[in-house]
Amino acid sequence: MNVHGQPSPTPPPAPPPRSGGLYVHVPFCVRKCAYCAFFSRPLPSCPAAAAPDPDPVAAWFRGIVREADGAPAGFMPATVFVGGGTPTALPDAAFAHLLDFISSRWGGAGLVEWTVEANPGTLSPEKLRRMRAAGVTRLSLGAQSFSPGTLAALGRIHTPGQVRDAVAMVRDAGIPEVSLDLMYGWHSPAAAAPHAALDAVRADADAALALAPDHLSAYCLEIEPGTPLDALRAAGRRVAAPPSLQRRAYDLLRARLAATGYRHYELSNFALPGRECRHNLLYWTGGAYIGLGPAAHSHWDGERRGNTPTLPTWTVEFRETLPPRLKACETLVMGLRRTDGWTRDAFRDATGFDYLDLRGAEIARLAAEGLLLSTPGSIRLAPSAYFVSDTVFAELV
């Protein structure tokens, strides 16, 4: 009873506890970029498409709903990431269906971050309005470069002007955060000399910074097997800059972004304070997530699962539960991608192991070689090892 002698109202039910993340893979693009090995197909509306299904987008969406129905009971993610592919390449109606579906199942209070990846050439005020209404908080735009020649060589569909327009549209739509992807390490015949190549990277960084993004990702061009760039390389064409120049480009970007207030928080990622990508931080700290769609991966309850990269339907390609020590080593390496690395306590909390028990000898050796910075209570990569992190990680898994 309350002070008025009336029964106290029943308190509203507590919102379901949220944890982990949701990834949704949208496997369609307008067309394939020259370097891309992600699983995606040209949209059926594109003349390059050869889709056996009359409506592959509808078939894919039915698959997403089916897979979502099989998600663990009570799954309520704290973060959502819709990637691909190019989610914003979906036709308006299909894109709206996807947003509504995610919002109705997993939106609302407690969802701390919802990212959608977008190609600047596929954004529209209408798509952004839909995203804002659904609760999207963050747009990740694949800018890659601000040089028309580089964008053409990479096979991108957009122009530098469309990147600028896209950022302005995101801001106008009231979506709180915008991230830009940049690519470096390509070879340009027009800027083959090292100083010209570095000038081009500097120009890209400055053009990106002029747009004041909340977050920047900078990826080195990798020539993936089976891509058009791989074919060019096999034919004797130079497509990537030499590794020494790629490293200088990376160092240039790091210095440029740091000088402008962006914290280098992961090997390829930079953010204004508080604007780190929470969803990706889950991946780097051994967190749990469910992936929906072809080629999507999940990590839930200690089990890893991967889907087949197939359309119009997909199945589970593998399911595995790593032995705890192996899983902990994997978490160690993933966490070292963050420039803060691990504290010993945080690693123990995350995995139940002490990293010195797991890999004490290797850590001591790598620290002696100057590749790791180790204190009694913490461990992190030395900045000089960022660009060669794979060789360090190979010692620790």
The helix (H) or strand (E) run that includes residue 361 is helix 355-368
Point out the residue whose Cβ comes nearest to ligand SF4. 36
Contact 83, 105 (CB under 8 A): no
Joined together, the tokens standing for residue 363 give 């850590």
For 271, the 3-state DSSP assignment is strand
Q: Does position 300 bind ligand SF4 by CB under 6 A?
A: no
> In angstroms, what is the minimal distance from the CB of 280 to ligand SF4?
16
**Shortest approach of ligand SF4 to residue 123 CB, angstroms?**
13
**Site mask for ligand SF4 (CB under 6 A), range 117-136, x = bound:** --x-----------------
| Choices 33-41, 273-281, 285-293, 378-386 (CB under 6 A): range interacting with ligand SF4 | 33-41
CB of 38 to ligand SF4, least distance (A): 4
Strand-pair category, 79-84 with 113-118: parallel
Three-state secondary-structure class, residue 126: helix
Binding part of the chain for ligand SF4, among 26-34, 52-60, 242-250, 347-355 by CB under 6 A, reads: 26-34
Residue 73 gets which letter from DSSP? T
Buried b (16+ CB within 10 A) or exposed e, 362-374: bbeebeeeebbeb
Q: Rule CB under 6 A: is residue 38 a binding residue for ligand SF4?
A: yes
36 binds ligand SF4 (CB under 6 A): yes
Q: What is the DSSP letter of 240?
A: B
CB of 30 to ligand SF4, least distance (A): 7
CA 16 to chain centroid: 26
Q: How far is the CB of 228 from ligand SF4 (least distance, A)?
A: 11
Which residue intervals of 174-237 are DSSP H helices? 194-209, 228-234
DSSP-derived letter for residue 176 is S
Q: Which lies closer to ligand SF4 via its Cβ, residue 40 or residue 179?
A: 40
Smallest distance from ligand SF4 to CB 142, Å: 6
**Cα–Cα dist 114/80, whole Å:** 5
Q: Does 33 bind ligand SF4 (CB under 6 A)?
A: yes
Of 339, 335, 371, give the one whose Cα is nearest residue 353: 335
CA dihedral defined by 101, 106, 108, 110, rounded to 10 degrees? -160
**Which of the ranges 28-36, 236-244, 303-311, 388-396 carries the binding residues for ligand SF4, by CB under 6 A?**
28-36
Mapping DSSP to helix (H, G, I), strand (E, B) and coil, where does residue 380 land?
Answer: strand
Binding mask 66-95 toward ligand SF4 (x if CB under 6 A, else -) reads ------------------xxx---------
Q: Which segment (25-33, 100-108, 253-261, 360-368) binds ligand SF4 by CB under 6 A?
A: 25-33
43: contact with ligand SF4 by CB under 6 A: no
Q: Cβ 143 to ligand SF4, closest distance in Å?
A: 11
- Name which position in 29, 166, 239, 296 contacts ligand SF4 (CB under 6 A): 29
Work out how close the CB of 293 gets to ligand SF4 at its nearest, in angstroms, rounded to a whole number.
13
Query: Considering the rule CB under 6 A, would residue 49 count as an interface residue with ligand SF4?
Result: no
Show the 3-state SS of 320-347. EECCHHHHHHHHHHHHCCECCCEEHHHH
DSSP line for 8-22 = PPPPPPPPPP--SEE
Scanning residues 137 to 156, which ones bind ligand SF4 (CB under 6 A)? 142
- Looking at residue 218, its amino acid is A
* Chain residues in the site for ligand SF4 (CB under 6 A): 29, 32-33, 36, 38, 40, 84-86, 119, 142
